[in-house]
Amino acid sequence: MKPITFIIYIAFYAIESHAYDYDTKYYDQTIDHFNFASYGSQTFKQKYLYNDTYWDRSNGPIFFYTGNEGPIEGFLQNSGLVYDLAVQSKALIVFAEHRFYGSSLPFGKDSFTPEKISLLTLEQAMADYAIMIKHLKEDLSVQNTQVIAFGGSYGGMLAAYMRFKYPNVIDGALAASAPIYLIAGKGDRTEFFADVTKDFEKADPMCPKTVMTAFSKLDSLVQMGDQGLKTITETFRLCKPLTAAQATHLKGWVRNSFTSLAMMDYPYPTHFLAPLPGYPVNYACKMILAAADPLQGLAEAAGLFYNGTGGSLKCFDIFTEFIECADPTGCGTGNDGLAWDYQACTELILPKGSNGQTDMFPSLPFTLKMRDEYCQKTWNVKPRNDWLDISVWGEDIKSASNIIFSNGELDPWRGGGVLSNISDTLVSFIVKGGAHHYDMRGSDSRDIPSVIGVRAEESNLINKWIAKSKLLKRKNI
């Protein structure tokens, strides 16, 4: 998940031109919350980012971002809504980094050994956040202050889960682009890549057809042998000659690019996953259809994500830029990629791969059986596919309250999320024409009307929850 990524898999997080101010702090976090004997009282330094510029200590709430699968700085810089709402609500802003990501490594460079990484779970991460909030409230002497959780993609899932699991700590949550049903194994696992395809079809009906033609030509060139492989290497500007055995990885590299473009299909240029133009799906389709040859168009469009607009890469190293893992939508690279791969091998159920029938991509399946085999070989673990249906409630969430589930119409993750109201306080918003957690981004003069309207409704609901919680606490209810 490219949370985001999400995601939900993440190559890197660049800072937008509008930089949000913060101070960096660390909390001495318990290593294992659930086994009193395993690490005793040992702790690790968990990073969090902090801004009290707008905070009214006597009456303002705490806005707490539940960090995703990467360095927390990137999520802060791309979640300006928290800052915008903090100005209105006079809130304290806290962005907490997820254990095993960024610099919040419980065992430093040794954190990714099989026995150590076993402490990377949803449950441990949520306990981290709950304990950190309790510490902050005690340290600041604001024990009765309301706390609203925010998050996008995987972070959005965690925001909702925190309200499920710790309603005594979290008064409400905004869960943006949070595919909580899909991750729990509910729904259609083929829908993700079908929805990526639909995004490209909306840009131009000929675009997916041309993509499929290009993949067919790629297969034909592979079958030709050395000369065909040389043509592919030159067309895609690969740093090393492609072999026939590596063709499948090249297809995954292309699919990963198109997936990222669909998620980042914002109406203005961004630098979240890569330096991309506004509406990058439209941009990529124009590149594909303008090329003299479909394969050349496919290569140029795929390079858009890895090289960005105006990028300086002279060639592409498909094995460092894309790493196959337990998440067919991509895990990212480096230690963050390892951590997400482990999570995708244990609790999280991701899409099953592309099939070339309901989507425009080659048949690159990833069945639950294939996942079991991969995870056993890679991490010596077997996924527990039914666990999240129990642990975080699956689809039976009606007993919860005070959660906003927002989804973008163009976001390929939307099908795995909550798309309709469940109650007066479990509310769903769809950002028409919006991509992955678009509403979480800061206000921009180029915003489309739908996201402006959704943000206003989100603000109204959050302020109502805060006011109601204050009233109940005054009455000691």
Catalytic residue among 128, 199, 341, 411: 411
**Distance separating alpha carbons of residues 439 and 176, to the nearest angstrom:** 7
**Distance separating alpha carbons of residues 157 and 19, to the nearest angstrom:** 25
Q: Which of 252, 251, 261 is nearest to 202 (CA)?
A: 261
Catalytic residue among 89, 153, 260, 469: 153
Q: Is the peptide bond before 349 cis (omega within 30 degrees of 0)?
A: no
436 is catalytic: yes
**Distance separating alpha carbons of residues 201 and 282, to the nearest angstrom:** 10
Q: Are 199 and 265 in contact (CB under 8 A)?
A: yes
C-alpha distances out from residue 67 to 6, 61, 98, 129, 232, Å? 10, 19, 5, 9, 40
In 204-326, where does DSSP find H-type helix?
206-224, 226-235, 247-263, 280-290, 294-307, 318-321
153 is catalytic: yes
**β 62-66/147-152 pair status:** parallel
Q: Which of 262, 446, 461, 443 is nearest to 354 (CA)?
A: 262
135 is catalytic: no
C-alpha distances out from residue 248 to 164, 212, 229, 300, 453, Å? 41, 15, 13, 18, 43
Catalytic residue among 341, 354, 401, 436: 436
Residues classed as catalytic:
153, 411, 436
